[in-house]
Structure 1
Amino acid sequence: MVSDSGVGVRIELERRHSRWYERLLLGLPFQLFVGLLFVGFLPAWNRWGWVFWQDATQVQINTTLAVSLAYVAVTFTLRRVMHFSSGQTAAYILPTVSFAYLLAIAVLFFTRVDYARQVVFASFLLTCFWCFAGYFLGRRYRLPKFALVPFGEGNSLKPRRNLDVRLLEYPDFQGVRYDGVVADLHAEDLPPQWEKFLARCALSHVPVYHVRQIYESHTGRVKIEHLSENVFGSLLPPLFYVGFKRVVDTLAALLLLPIFLPFFALLAVLIRLDSPGSPIFVQERVGYRARRFKMYKFRSMYLNCQGTGYAKGICDPRITRIGRWMRKYRIDELPQILNVLKGEMSFIGPRPESVHLSESYEHEVPFFSYRHVVRPGISGWAQVNQGYAAEVDEMNKKLQYDFYYIKNFSLWLDILIVFKTIRTIVTGFGAR
């Protein structure tokens, strides 16, 4: 309890997980330290025994250092990805652990240093077990629990599978501990006693969130009634990451293009045999900084079958037989690696719109051009969450996803999109 000396009031609000032992057990230091002992030093001790601690060889040092760095990378990546996936990280544990350990093995291999393969494999299995155990425990203890102030837009926020929202009847927690309080801070009908309650929460170190913050973090969308700053406090994405991402895109395109060229040639022949016309479809799109460019795709429709605006869905008669298969697994987008190499696109970003749709949205959404502040992508946040947009309402929803991506433009969100893209390719999610 905290004493308010100004008015002589005893504040009895307590935040969830605020006690010292809770902060210790659920904190990052505990997870790192105990996790490192479990996945890093336990396999080493099991392999070499107490000799490892007394007189470690270079092989033992190399192996332990590699698995420890891999575990640290896994821990930080999953914690950041959890922020954008609203805690639903189970599907990303195995890919994250696998990539981190494969990267560690690749570094060991190319630097030609010796290491113990059995220890690396055992550490990989233990890391998977540790992360899955942490996830299932977190589902019980880490499910966000918020107190909702019932005024303004606060009434529109509903409980979700990954969000526990409880409507307050009185300006008091009544003995329940919450992770934070959600309120419409701009509500005109917020009574004075509730304003004092929010002040008490702040004094008690209980976070107070605006309702739109929680809406965005748990839907992955930004409402587009107005233009808002991104998480870095300005309308511009971080220039360092923009440059870093461009370098990664170029290197990845140079690596993938020679690998895919034989497949491209085979696919071009199949498209040509399936229907007459060029296997490559070229369309003018609006891209980075609102510049127009020619985007390449494998042709998936019959020639001279122009649409009248939006797509017609999965039964669109304009789509060829092989085109339907390509669209399901997004293979028709692969030639855009050339656009990436030319600097017109990125692997991850908002999908570039046609000139016609861009001009239309410029009239409907005054700040639509802000969408062009980052390079468009082959895959994006809207595609992996929504799939193809076929109607006007779906296109508006797609814009909300795009603005969320721009607002939260970061390496961690791009990593999450990569994982979701792999799932999309494997399952054909959102195809038309």
Structure 2
Amino acid sequence: MVSRYRMALLQCMDLLCILVALGIVGVLAIEPELSVFDDYTGASLFTIFFYMLFFYILDAYSVGVEDFRDSVVRVLLAGVLAIISSATSSYVFDHWRFDRASTGLLFVLSMCFCLGWRLFYYRNTDKLTFQMRVLLVGVDRAGKVRQLLAEGLPTARIIGYVGEPDMDPDAGPCLGAPYDVLNIARDRRATTILLLPDAPIDDDIAHDLLEAKLRGRMVVDIRSFYEHVVQRLPISQINDEWLLQTEGFSLNTRGSLRRLKRAFDVLISLVLLVPAAPIMALTALLIRLESPGPVIYRQDRVGLHEREFTVYKFRSMRTDAEKDGAVWASANDSRVTRVGKFIRKVRIDELPQIWNILKGDMSFIGPRPERMAFVSKLKEHIPYYSLRHTVKPGLTGWAQVCYPYGASEEDSRRKLEYDLYYVKNMSILLDIHIIFKTVGVVLFPKGAR
């Protein structure tokens, strides 16, 4: 997952590339007496908007995280969709569209520039990547903190901690007492000071930490830091007290947000039904032709406040798939039919759940509903698992667009961290953000089974 700050920087790079491409097109392909930005304002704005929109939707900013070939495919597909959309949108305005030669040149230049800086980045990742030097204040669960940073911010380096000497090797070296944190941070060139749950902070230490923050160092609680940078809540670090005092979880305390979300769910579901209807009809026909049995699969799932409801999906497995009881789906699952494999990959099997949304059992955005057999087991082993049931389950969600399909207890733990982030930060803007990312996941399927 790319942090929001890094993504903003990479988006600025693409914006600059598109502006440069527009400028070159204005010199080479536009009449000398005309300006690409003044006389073709509409066409330029449409171009910028759709290029940036499809780069965002197709998640073209995992630079250095995924294989370069995947980035090339994402950028090229985004460019094709953008040029088609901008040309279509500006077609009704005679003076707001580029001619074919200008459009083709703009596409070639934009792709060359946007892929060019990505190639440069891949070849110089070590030189261009900023290394965060982290100093821990406290030692409790420091090993978990090291693991969290390795997963979410692999370039970060923990230089040690201040606090009582500890025998846990995962905590790193003890660099001194908490009262000397300011000097230690300066001498060790720490860029970030992370406060662990057991950080021994009194008034004097708090004053020193404030001074360090005013001098440009990041001083932040590990839970808040991880939430805002990695965009999930670290289960190993949170507790009841922090959850009680932290901001968020406003859906259950703000009736206006709850009503607005319900209206949003109904509106999106009705709009989605129009393009989904012929796809659903064709899917039903293909399922019926391939294997005997019902087209729609009904299953009890756990919803709001752990009440069970019946969820509807297109059947993607053989009718005897669970003759021996409920089991997780696995990679290359032999129970999945050929049609089922495809509709799972592109999420078509979930479309009948539009009916669940209109009924009010589900929301368009929310944690995915699980079966009671799995929920009962996961509640025993994963802290705060029940919190995901304080909101309605969703057709898609933050965990679904950020983490591949999970088929184990550890996967469920990780997805819960994303679900808790969503429950805590729920808003209509976040829902719209998830919808855009869902489109990208459908176009580039990740981990569907």
Q: TM-score, normalised by structure 1?
A: 0.70
Task: Trace 1:344-355 onto structure 2 (pairs within 5 A).
Answer: 344-346=361-363, 348-355=365-372
Closer/same/farther in 2, CA of residues 94 and 333 from structure 1, 3 Å limit? same
Task: Trace 1:283-362 onto structure 2 (pairs within 5 A).
Answer: 283-287=299-303, 292-299=308-315, 300-303=317-320, 305-311=322-328, 313-314=330-331, 319=336, 323=340, 326-327=343-344, 330-340=347-357, 342=359, 344-346=361-363, 348-358=365-375
Partner SS state of residue 205, structure 1: coil
Closer/same/farther in 2, CA of residues 38 and 355 from structure 1, 3 Å limit? same
1:268 alignment partner, one of 287, 290, 314: 287
Q: Distance in 2 between matches of 1:55 and 1:132?
A: 24
Q: Distance in 2 between matches of 1:30 and 1:328?
A: 32
Q: Distance in 2 between matches of 1:216 and 1:55?
A: 40
Q: Distance in 2 between matches of 1:303 and 1:54?
A: 63
Could you tell me which residue of structure 2 aligns to residue 203 of structure 1?
214
The answer to whether structure 1 residue 123 and structure 2 residue 106 are counterparts is yes
Could you tell me which residue of structure 2 aligns to residue 39 of structure 1?
21
Q: Distance in 2 between matches of 1:28 and 1:120?
A: 24
Partner SS state of residue 172, structure 1: helix
2:129 alignment partner, one of 127, 143, 148: 143
Aligned residues: 392
2:248 alignment partner, one of 226, 234, 242: 234
The answer to whether structure 1 residue 172 and structure 2 residue 185 are counterparts is yes
Partner SS state of residue 353, structure 1: coil
2:439 alignment partner, one of 402, 406, 418: 418
The answer to whether structure 1 residue 406 and structure 2 residue 423 are counterparts is yes
Q: Distance in 2 between matches of 1:162 and 1:200?
A: 26
**Aligned partners of 2:60 and 2:75 also within 8 Å:** no
**Aligned partners of 1:229 and 1:235 also within 8 Å:** no
Q: Distance in 1 between matches of 2:363 and 2:95?
A: 35
Structure 2, unmatched stretches of 5+, are 1-7, 161-174, 176-183
| Deviation of the 1:367 alpha carbon | 4.9
Per-residue CA deviations over 1:377-400 (Å, capped at 9, x if unaligned) read 334443455544333343333322
Partner SS state of residue 29, structure 2: helix
Q: Distance in 2 between matches of 1:142 and 1:195?
A: 34
| Deviation of the 1:38 alpha carbon | 0.8
| Deviation of the 1:181 alpha carbon | 0.3
Partner SS state of residue 168, structure 1: strand
Closer/same/farther in 2, CA of residues 386 and 309 from structure 1, 3 Å limit? farther
| Deviation of the 1:167 alpha carbon | 3.0
Q: Distance in 1 between matches of 2:312 and 2:135?
A: 50
**Aligned partners of 1:182 and 1:209 also within 8 Å:** yes
Deviates more, 1:330-339 or 1:198-207: 330-339
Per-residue CA deviations over 1:149-175 (Å, capped at 9, x if unaligned) read 244244532546953222335513448
After superposition, the CA RMSD in angstroms is 4.6
Q: Distance in 2 between matches of 1:312 and 1:71?
A: 37
| Deviation of the 1:281 alpha carbon | 0.9
Closer/same/farther in 2, CA of residues 113 and 190 from structure 1, 3 Å limit? same
1:223 alignment partner, one of 221, 234, 244: 234
Report % sequence identity: 24
**Aligned partners of 1:253 and 1:340 also within 8 Å:** no
The answer to whether structure 1 residue 106 and structure 2 residue 88 are counterparts is yes
**Aligned partners of 1:310 and 1:391 also within 8 Å:** no
**Aligned partners of 1:71 and 1:127 also within 8 Å:** no
The answer to whether structure 1 residue 371 and structure 2 residue 388 are counterparts is yes
Q: 2:185 is matched by which residue type in structure 1?
A: D
**Aligned partners of 2:266 and 2:357 also within 8 Å:** no
Partner SS state of residue 24, structure 2: helix
Per-residue CA deviations over 1:56-84 (Å, capped at 9, x if unaligned) read 65xx3432232244456568x48x996xx
Q: Distance in 1 between matches of 2:200 and 2:50?
A: 52
1:52 alignment partner, one of 10, 25, 34: 34
Q: 1:209 is matched by which residue type in structure 2?
A: V
Closer/same/farther in 2, CA of residues 245 and 182 from structure 1, 3 Å limit? farther
Q: Distance in 2 between matches of 1:28 and 1:321?
A: 39
Q: 2:314 is matched by which residue type in structure 1?
A: F
Closer/same/farther in 2, CA of residues 211 and 100 from structure 1, 3 Å limit? farther
The answer to whether structure 1 residue 63 and structure 2 residue 63 are counterparts is no
Q: TM-score, normalised by structure 2?
A: 0.67
| Deviation of the 1:204 alpha carbon | 0.7
| Deviation of the 1:350 alpha carbon | 2.0
Structure 1, unmatched stretches of 5+, are 1-25
**Aligned partners of 1:148 and 1:154 also within 8 Å:** no
| Deviation of the 1:356 alpha carbon | 4.3
| Deviation of the 1:208 alpha carbon | 1.9
Q: Distance in 2 between matches of 1:99 and 1:163?
A: 33
**Aligned partners of 1:40 and 1:64 also within 8 Å:** yes
| Deviation of the 1:416 alpha carbon | 2.9
The answer to whether structure 1 residue 256 and structure 2 residue 275 are counterparts is yes
Per-residue CA deviations over 1:75-119 (Å, capped at 9, x if unaligned) read 8x48x996xx69858745455555544443332246787622433
**Aligned partners of 2:132 and 2:155 also within 8 Å:** yes
Could you tell me which residue of structure 2 aligns to residue 16 of structure 1?
none
Could you tell me which residue of structure 2 aligns to residue 396 of structure 1?
413
Per-residue CA deviations over 1:331-360 (Å, capped at 9, x if unaligned) read 433433443455544555321123444456
